[in-house]
Amino acid sequence: MRLEDLGITIKDLDFGGVDAESDRRLADYFIDTPQVDEALSFRSAHFIGRKGSGKSSIFTQLPRLAVERYGPGCRVSLMTPDQYAWGALRQYEERGLLPEQAHSNAWKFTIAVDAAAAALETPVDLHDENARKALEQIRTFVAKNFGDDAPTPTTTAQRLLKGLEAFNLEAFGFGVGFERSKQEMPLTPQVIDLLLNAVEKVCGRVGVLVAADRLDDSWDGSDVSQSLLIGLMKATKEINDRFSHRDGTGLHVVTFLRSDIYQGLRFDDKDKHRAVEEEISWNVDLLRDLVNARLPDGLTVDDIFEEGDMRGSIAPFNYLVKRTFLRPREIIQFLQLCQKRTPAGETEIAKDTIRDAEELYSAWKVDDLKQEYRRVFSDFDDLLEALRQTQHRFDSIEEFSAALKEKAPRLVESHGDRELVQRLFDASIIGVRMRNAGVARFRCEDPDLLLPSTGSVYIHQSLYKGLNISEKRAS
């Protein structure tokens, strides 16, 4: 079927928003990927992916998806700490504790309060007597400390910064404003346990899922930023280890974080987190499904393009995908740009229109990559610009390293050529074809791919136009 059969044009199509927050119809064409199943399984904890990979799409749909899977007995609380919450959490300290541990306690307390508020929304008829008593404790605690307004990460963090001694803990049998000096153990863990134990009693037959997103909004690469995120990773795992159950009951925490930031975090026992990491990745078939779901019934993405292959005997949609890092946001951006460049009244996207749109799209990719990576590597802009007006293929890693030394000697002297090559490889700006066999492979296609010691180096096709890359003829 073609658009003309339906009496509509390319301009009539709605490919949706490029970000989850602005896409009001996301629930209508949301795609269930393996990562969605993991997010609902109460197994994985850290969902990592590049910008535009769909982290926020999963995050925003969790409340609906959890009810569909587990029924009304599973409540989801969505946490998006703003700059004010980050500012308060950054300042939090505890005497005698390293910053990472203090930040872990601060996150655990913030999550515990958030989970407690979510527990209040669970159906009362699903609770036994002990659970109902715990609910009343939680209700009293929230009312005494936050009034009629539900607590948020910002209000909790700001209250925490004033000192836990100011919290009213009458709900748990303590007097108002009791002093830290009178306690045998640090106050933060004690209060955290009071809240989490109450939530645990409520969650015997129901589930509370706390999800945190937009964790990179206030990231600046500083030591305190690292400490904050490490504290969150540790808090998440510790809570899940104690309170999460695979049947959708208990308390479970999931975090959504950019992969480049997560990979740069260094902390003891990070290897213990490997089992609960989940990389958000896409392939051609999933991206095709994503676009097809946004088209009118009976249409597929191949029906909206001019018939026939592009240069290189590749179908138009696959041509677009090859010029993305396999991220939903990119394929939607490219399609929308092609749509914008298509004249009114046309019922297909012409091949010439795709090539015309690629010029601007590729320039966008250059700018987007700089924005994406400059906060984790301050010299990234200069590193990417070092590839401008070079060639699309280098016969060896050594030849490519030599080109970097010539184009960016300061960077090579400061960081070493191998580190620069590794950073470009990790960002999928370059891929490697090993032993002169097969095709060039990029990490965006396989997150587990490692940089080999030998092989031909290829620059990603999305950057050819934006960096004015020339195609080197095969020798």
d(CA 178, CA 359): 65
d(CA 365, CA 329): 11
Q: Above 50 in pLDDT, residue 186?
A: no
Query: Mean of the pLDDT values across residues 239-258?
Result: 95
pLDDT value at residue 185: 41
The full 3-state SS of 161-204, as one line of letters, equals: HHCHHHCCCHHHCCCCCCCHHHCCCCHHHHHHHHHHHHHHHHCC
SS3 label, residue 244: strand
- Residue environment code for 163-199, b if the CB has 16+ CB neighbours within 10 A, otherwise e: ebeebebebbeeeeeeeeeeeeebbbebbbbbbbebb
Instruction: For residue 447, list its beta bridge partners.
Output: none
Query: Mean of the pLDDT values across residues 369-382?
Result: 94
Q: Above 80 in pLDDT, residue 313?
A: yes
Q: Above 80 in pLDDT, residue 183?
A: no
CA torsion 395→397→399→401, rounded to 10°? 150
Distances (CA, A) of 13 to 10, 302, 397, 449: 6, 14, 44, 37
pLDDT value at residue 219: 86
d(CA 69, CA 242): 23
42 — alpha (psi -120 to 50), left (phi > 0) or beta? left
Burial of 365 (0-12, 13-18, 19+ CB in 10 A): buried
Confidence of residue 299 (pLDDT cuts 50, 70, 90): very high
Confidence of residue 50 (pLDDT cuts 50, 70, 90): very high
Q: Which residues contact 46 (CB under 8 A, 6 or more apart)?
A: 233, 236, 254, 255, 257, 262, 273, 276, 277, 278
Q: Above 70 in pLDDT, residue 119?
A: yes
pLDDT value at residue 187: 55
Chain mean pLDDT for the chain: 91
Radius of gyration of the chain (CA): 26
Render pLDDT for 390-430 as a digit per residue (tens, 0 to 9).
999 999 999 999 999 999 999 999 999 999 999 999 999 99
Task: Give 420's DSSP letter.
Answer: H
pLDDT value at residue 90: 84
CA torsion 342→347→352→358, rounded to 10°? 50
**Are 19 and 56 contacting, i.e. CB atoms less than 8 angstroms apart?**
yes
Q: Above 90 in pLDDT, residue 457?
A: yes
Bridge-based pairing of strands 277-279 and 393-394 is unpaired
pLDDT, greater one: 21 or 402: 402
Structure tokens at 123: 């159906």
d(CA 229, CA 106): 11
d(CA 158, CA 89): 8
d(CA 19, CA 54): 8
Alpha helices in 275-386 (DSSP H): 284-292, 316-322, 328-341, 351-373, 380-385
pLDDT, greater one: 312 or 95: 312
Query: Mean of the pLDDT values across residues 142-162?
Result: 86
d(CA 222, CA 268): 18
pLDDT value at residue 180: 44
Q: Above 50 in pLDDT, residue 381?
A: yes
Q: Above 80 in pLDDT, residue 206?
A: yes
Q: Which region among 112-121, 160-169, 236-245, 346-355 has the lowest average model confidence (pLDDT)?
A: 160-169
Bridge-based pairing of strands 207-212 and 277-279 is unpaired
Query: Mean of the pLDDT values across residues 336-359?
Result: 97
pTM above 0.85, yes or no: yes
Q: Which residues contact 310 (CB under 8 A, 6 or more apart)?
A: 316, 319, 351, 354
d(CA 158, CA 162): 7
